[in-house]
Structure 1
Amino acid sequence: MRLSTVILPIHRWSEGQKVWRRAEDLGFHAAYTYDHLSWRSFRDGPWFGALPTLTAAATATERLRLGTLVTSPNFRHPVTLAKELITLDDVSDGRITLGIGAGGNGFDATVLGQEAWTPKERADRFGEFVALLDRLLTEDAVTERGTFYSADEARNVPGCVQRPRLPFAVAATGPRGLRLAARHGQAWVTTGDPKLYEEGTPEQSVAALRGQVEKLAKACAETGRDVAALDKVLLTGFTPDRGRPLESVDAFVDFAGRHRELGFTELVIHWPIPDSDFAADQTVFEDIATEALAQLG
């Protein structure tokens, strides 16, 4: 099992670079950031762009994998996104993972002046978005006429440093999204069952996650793919446990062990932010980063 962190893009780079370097020093497998234009309780505070932040982080680190968790079609187009990702993969010397999801009804859904898409339209767009982005990152020139997204001789030479392209970590829980993960993903991402966040129990959450893993395996079987070939990533902090796994190393080891048994290969914990949903003791957090996996065995 690997341990990663997600660093929200809330710091001016004079301070932010210290956080990303510290994440590398602590030995995290990867450090991700949210790809939103604003987000929930942070909407009225500092919030910087994901891809420029990752570009800066790529120049400030040497070994740490970097990525979005997650990018969505809400305000992006595959053609421009592909060019930026190829550039970022080059700057980082092949350390980029693209976390990608269908998006939701938050601030990003209407920030460009459009009506929020229905769940069906989000799913329709997501399927077309991922398929076209896959081609754009693997082919030198792409022409495609889609219902929502098109490309006209889009050139992407020299392509990604990582071949055949940088990895996709597809966030999904529904059947259509899981099929996309099985078809295009090198990893699958979940935050658990959102219906359990407020009043569910950790035991119910584990059962729900087990069901999601089983559905992923079914989707993989339908596409002729071995589910073991996909990494399984849990972005923590959104299950009924909330911040309790970060209260001590022992608590985290217990949490990690229960989820490793479900087949998860990577856990992602939020870098502590005081006075927020992601508040945690920094010393305990760093102890978890350096000691927990060894104790997990």
Structure 2
Amino acid sequence: MSLRLSTVILPYLRWHEGGRSTWQRAEQLGFHTAFTYDHLAWRTFREGPWYGAVPTLTAAAGATDRLRLGTLVTSPNFRHPVALAKELISLDDISGGRITLGIGAGGSGFDATTLLRTGEEPWTPRERADRFGEFVPLLDRLLTEDTVSYDGTFYSAREAYNIPGCVQRPRLPFAVAATGPRGLKLAAAHGQAWVTTGDPKLFQAGTPEQSVDALRGQTEKLAAACETVGRDVRELDKVLLTGFTPDRGRPLESLDAFVDFAGRHVELGFTDIVIHWPIPGSDFAADEKVFEQIALEAVAQLG
């Protein structure tokens, strides 16, 4: 399988002042999927404009025809699986079956504590993993069964009806972001794809070579998780979300730099690489002409 190249479009632009045209340009450039972050706020954008993922994807579905669309990623930090399932079924219908759900356990910063009550302690990594372990299987059921009742530790559903279900059958695909053993097992059991950003411990002081070694280790752990649940790891797409490895923005400095970067990761088995749409003055600043050249020419060079 040849490499698929996708992009992330952060939802900070007004729809009629650059938002709509950006998603349409992503389709024109031939990206496989255009994702957006599902956050209430994020890093340096926290005190500026930021729009909701589901309405943005709904608008993008109406403004495009072929481009796949999705979140990268949705988390239990502020989503309930019952309400989310209804929104996803609606999105899948509106888009004509073009939605992918990127889903992860969620982090500890930015908007993770926005919905906590006064005096409520932030969730620990273990509690986030516990919630995620309940969230994913329940969401899987909600998107594949007409009616679901469930009473768990963190979530419940009482005769939750989800008729007619997804356009994509048996449901829209999950791209599960995970690096730890519990998350990788969820990816193996429920995912159609696995997502990683690399090893966060290497971001500040690591080297590109160390990052490649760490990603190789992650893919090996994914294979072991798949073996545990009786699944062939080759059934899962393997998605690298760029911008968080020691390379940072260097792969977008030129077409040759990106082809070199992508080639090293294709050799590890990655099927999809996701690059951020350039945003001037941000962590994702890049030359737009180089970005478009990468979109138009890189996959062909990788063969």
- TM-score using structure 2 length: 0.97
Residue pairs, 1:171-250, within 5 angstroms: 171-250=177-256
How far did 1:113 drift?
2.3
What is aligned with 2:137? 131
How far did 1:107 drift?
2.5
Aligned equivalents of 1:63, 1:164: Cα separation in 2: 21
Aligned equivalents of 2:69, 2:265: Cα separation in 1: 23
How far did 1:109 drift?
1.5
Does the residue aligned with 2:111 lie in a helix, a strand or coil? helix
Q: Among 106, 111, 116, which residue is 2:114 paired with?
A: 111
Does the residue aligned with 1:109 lie in a helix, a strand or coil? coil
Aligned equivalents of 2:170, 2:207: Cα separation in 1: 42
How far did 1:50 drift?
0.3
RMSD: 0.5
What is aligned with 2:13? 11
How far did 1:44 drift?
0.8
What is aligned with 1:48? 51
What is aligned with 1:83? 86
**One-letter amino acid of the counterpart of residue 12, structure 2:** I
Aligned equivalents of 1:200, 1:95: Cα separation in 2: 37
Aligned length: 297
How far did 1:206 drift?
0.1
Deviations 1:13-62 (A, max 9, x none): 00200000000000000000000000011101100000000000000000
What is aligned with 1:102? 105
How far did 1:239 drift?
0.2
Query: Identity, % of aligned pairs?
Result: 80
**One-letter amino acid of the counterpart of residue 138, structure 1:** T
Deviations 1:243-273 (A, max 9, x none): 0000000000000000000000000000000
Aligned equivalents of 2:273, 2:122: Cα separation in 1: 31
What is aligned with 1:295? 301
Deviations 1:215-250 (A, max 9, x none): 000000000000000000000000000000000000
**One-letter amino acid of the counterpart of residue 162, structure 2:** N
How far did 1:116 drift?
1.3
Tell me if structure 1 keeps the 8 A contact 2:116–2:122: no
Aligned equivalents of 2:56, 2:140: Cα separation in 1: 23
Aligned equivalents of 2:110, 2:123: Cα separation in 1: 12
Tell me if 1:59 matches 2:62: yes
**One-letter amino acid of the counterpart of residue 282, structure 2:** S
**One-letter amino acid of the counterpart of residue 98, structure 1:** L
Tell me if structure 1 keeps the 8 A contact 2:12–2:49: yes
Aligned equivalents of 1:247, 1:182: Cα separation in 2: 34
Tell me if 1:142 matches 2:145: no
* Runs of 4+ that moved beyond 2 A: none
Tell me if structure 1 keeps the 8 A contact 2:32–2:67: yes
Aligned equivalents of 2:162, 2:147: Cα separation in 1: 6
Residue pairs, 1:162-173, within 5 angstroms: 162-173=168-179
What is aligned with 1:279? 285
What is aligned with 1:36? 39
- 5+ long unaligned stretches in structure 2: none
How far did 1:85 drift?
0.2
Aligned equivalents of 2:74, 2:127: Cα separation in 1: 17
Aligned equivalents of 1:107, 1:149: Cα separation in 2: 23
What is aligned with 1:261? 267
Q: Among 1, 4, 26, which residue is 1:2 paired with?
A: 4
**One-letter amino acid of the counterpart of residue 91, structure 1:** I
- TM-score using structure 1 length: 0.99
Does the residue aligned with 1:132 lie in a helix, a strand or coil? helix
**One-letter amino acid of the counterpart of residue 260, structure 1:** V
Does the residue aligned with 1:295 lie in a helix, a strand or coil? helix
Aligned equivalents of 2:88, 2:285: Cα separation in 1: 31
Aligned equivalents of 2:188, 2:35: Cα separation in 1: 22
Tell me if structure 1 keeps the 8 A contact 2:176–2:194: yes
